[in-house]
Amino acid sequence: MTTRHTVPTARRSLLLHVNPLALAVVGVAAVPGSLAVRTLPIALVTVAVYAVVLLLVVPSVRYTLLCLALAAFAGLTVAYSTWRLGGHGETLALTAGLRIVVLAWPGAVVAVFVDPARLGDHLAQNLRLPARPVVAVTSALQQAAGLLVTWQQLVRARRARGAGPAGGPVARSRYGGGLVFALLVSSLRGASRQSIALDARGFASAHGRSWAEPAPWTGLDVAVAVGGALLAAVPVVLLVAV
């Protein structure tokens, strides 16, 4: 039991400590790399390489396959529209759909491992971006990350009061609408509290800012960034070789 779960836990801990900018390289580099997916063999080989690498690196196979399913759904819509508007060419449509999978899958996988606070540190200290937009973006990302927790709390609170989902589609729609409205109210309240706290700390008028945590680049960060670039270069190499 212990041996079975040690490796996934260690890999998850490792990914959580990777520089967010290095993780961003993995997702962003896939965008220009997907442009080299011109033929069906290139698309199939690239997706196969992506699958092997991601399943080996990411600790959760279920999460990796979930991201694949989401990317595949987006690719399916593109494939269908290409098939309808492109003369009913199955090969062309399938290539277009797999190109979307190549573009979206790596970024979707690494997104969950990006910590908003550490991302803000690296954007400000490494890329030297203006402090106010960085703090604003970091604050917004933290608010978005807390939406799922707030939703779960609202569901548990309603079930504790005996107001769980029941009845037909109309009753369930009302229940879901009430939850969405409560989530909106909670989000607006949280945003108001956070904006007041930021203003109280000189967010609007301060010029020289300091950062509590360092933002170093380690060997692991360089390895992840280089690995992401090499992964994105797979379809380019295949295109040149063909």
- What confidence tens digit (pLDDT) does each residue in 155-203 have? 888 777 777 666 677 777 777 788 888 888 887 787 777 777 777 777 6
CB 183, CB 147: distance < 8 Å = yes
- In the chain, pLDDT over 70 holds for what percent of residues? 87
**CA-to-CA distance for 13 and 51, rounded, in angstroms?**
21
Residue 9: predicted pLDDT: 55
Kindly give the residue spans of alpha helices, DSSP state H, lying in 86-206. 90-111, 116-125, 131-145, 147-160, 169-200
pLDDT for position 206: 62
Residues 6+ apart with CB under 8 A from 215: 19, 118, 121, 122, 124, 125, 126
Would you state the pLDDT for residue 196? 77
Residues 90/83, Cβ–Cβ less than 8 Å: yes
| 168-205 burial code (b ≥16 CB/10 A, e <16) | eeeeeeebeeeeeebbeebeeeeeeeeeeeeeeeebee
Residue 60 is predicted with a pLDDT of 81
Collapsing DSSP to helix, strand or coil, 4 comes out as helix
Rounded CA separation 231/97 (Å): 19
Label residue 45 by pLDDT band (50, 70, 90). very high
pTM score, whole prediction: 0.72
Residues in CB range of 94: below 8 A, 6 or more apart: 40, 43, 79
- How far, in Å, CA of 17 to CA of 20, rounded? 8
Instruction: Report the pLDDT value the prediction gives residue 50, as an integer from 0 to 100.
Output: 92
Q: 218: closest CA among 106, 110, 118, 142? A: 118
Q: Has residue 10 got a pLDDT over 70? A: no
6 — pLDDT class (breaks 50, 70, 90): very low
Q: With the CA atoms of 66, 72, 76 and 77 taken in that order, what torsion angle do they form, in degrees rounded to the nearest 10?
A: 70
Name the residue with higher pLDDT: 15 or 126.
Answer: 126
Least trusted range by pLDDT, from 69-78, 119-128, 160-169:
160-169
